[in-house]
Amino acid sequence: MAHSFGESYRVGSTSGIHAITVFCSWDYKVMQKRASRLQQDNIRTRLKELLAEWQLRQSPRSVCGRLRQVAALGLAWLLCLGTALGCAVAIHVFSEFLIQSPEAAGQEAALLVLPLVVGLLNLGAPYLCRVLAALEPHDSPVLEVYVAICRIISEKKLKRRRKPEFDIARNVLELIYGQTLTWLGVLFSPLLPTVQIIKLLLVFYVKKTSLLANCQAPRRPWLASHMSTVFLTLLCFPAFLGAAIFLCYAVWQVKPSSTCGPFRTLDSMYEAGRVWVRYLEAAGPRVSWLPWVHRYLVENTFFVFLVSALLLAVIYLNIQVVRGQRRVICLLKEQISNEGKDKIFLINKLHSIYERKEREERSRVGTTEETAAPPAVLTDERDD
């Protein structure tokens, strides 16, 4: 960054920069054809920028030119402000018209017109402002970049303050609520799961688009695995079990409607099974096994208790497996910790042994030098 700043804003005179760019910009280490073309394009663009800046300094704008530039900038700003004010006034007038209109008050579809208009304006107004910003006359691309940067900052700051957070908890509860309603209504409307699937597909893509365009990231991060566990837990125990209990009570105890429906002549929905079994018994011996299944597997309480006992045994077994896995994980963590301590102990032991060997070698070298020095002195004296 410091090198680039020094290249762009040299202290002192900038004379000779064109000659430097022409004669000193080529990198002779470039050998490939594609790289040389890129370097030629970079030098050509650099020369165009330098010549444009030089022409701008040599021929400054006249008073009329500056007035035209100021007028164009002012017109662009006025159009942007007018667009924002016009959208706000249009929404206000349209909402007042819907409130005071007697035809719109009685139709539910008319209530969706205002959110549709607001959404269209929110989508179209930013593009209009960008077109107006592109028509603004600027003297140099550097100034245009600075203006754009001041705008990539103000927009982000305002969006952070203005954009709502995507409420994960509320959307999870909405999914659980919709699934619970589907389970509750499947007995009375068998095609309700198909409607729920289509609705979930549409809502998913609509919320995804809204999330990317209108929402910001939550301040508190959510752990995906934890949220999926919570979702499945809430979906299983309160929602599914509650819906199952309600449906069982409705099948066995609630009297159906006497005016409409397939059970209008019966005291409960459960009696429909008994009526069906009587028809099967009168139909012949070919389907005689179906009444036996209904008598001994559906009406017999022992089979229900057996299935319940098996279900509780499976749940208990899964709980014990999870507890055993937790214990194994704790033991493995302790083993890893102990292995780390053993490695540290061995490293310290090796380090102490290495230091002791170094001290012994140093002391050995010192003793050998002391013992070897006197004979050398004696031989020198004899030579003298």
Handedness of CA 298, 300, 301, 306 (dihedral sign): negative
Q: Look up tokens 């979906």; give the residue.
A: 235
The string of pLDDT tens digits covering residues 188-199 is: 888 999 999 999
User: Which is more confidently placed, 87 or 20?
Assistant: 87
Q: In degrees, to the nearest 5, what angle opens at C-alpha 249 toward C-alphas 246 and 255?
A: 120
Question: Over the range 338-375, which residues count as b (16 or more CB within 10 Å of their CB) and which as e?
Answer: eeeeeeeeeeeeeeeeeeeeeeeeeeeeeeeeeeeeee
Average pLDDT over residues 344-351: 89
Q: Which of 254-268, 321-335, 339-353 has the lowest mean pLDDT?
A: 254-268
- Amino acid sitting at position 228: S
- CA 158 – CA 153 distance, rounded (Å): 9
The string of pLDDT tens digits covering residues 123-164 is: 888 788 778 777 776 666 666 666 776 776 666 666 555 667
Candidate ranges 74-78, 264-268, 300-304, 347-351; pick with highest mean pLDDT: 347-351
Read off the pTM: 0.45
pLDDT band at 91 (very low <50, low <70, confident <90, very high): confident
* pLDDT (0 to 100) of residue 201: 93
Handedness of CA 274, 279, 281, 286 (dihedral sign): negative
The string of pLDDT tens digits covering residues 275-306 is: 888 777 777 777 777 777 777 777 777 877 88
Percent of the chain with pLDDT over 90: 5
The string of pLDDT tens digits covering residues 3-46 is: 544 555 544 445 567 777 777 778 787 888 888 888 888 888 87
Beta carbons of 110 and 98 less than 8 angstroms apart: yes
| Token pair for 263 | 């059970």
Beta carbons of 166 and 211 less than 8 angstroms apart: yes
Q: Which of 60-69, 198-207, 318-327 has the lowest mean pLDDT?
A: 60-69
Beta carbons of 230 and 176 less than 8 angstroms apart: no
Phi and psi based region of residue 12 (left: phi greater than 0; alpha: psi -120 to 50; beta: remaining)? left
Question: Over the range 28-64, which residues count as b (16 or more CB within 10 Å of their CB) and which as e?
Answer: eeeeeeeeeeeeeeeeeeeeeeeeebeeeeeeeeeee
Beta carbons of 29 and 51 less than 8 angstroms apart: no
The string of pLDDT tens digits covering residues 157-198 is: 665 556 677 777 778 888 888 898 999 988 888 899 999 999
* pLDDT (0 to 100) of residue 200: 92
* pLDDT (0 to 100) of residue 381: 44
- CA 377 – CA 373 distance, rounded (Å): 7
pLDDT band at 373 (very low <50, low <70, confident <90, very high): low
Burial environment of residue 182 by CB neighbours within 10 A (0 to 12, 13 to 18, 19 or more): buried
3-state secondary structure at position 356: helix
Q: Tell whether the model's pLDDT for residue 59 goes beyond 60.
A: yes
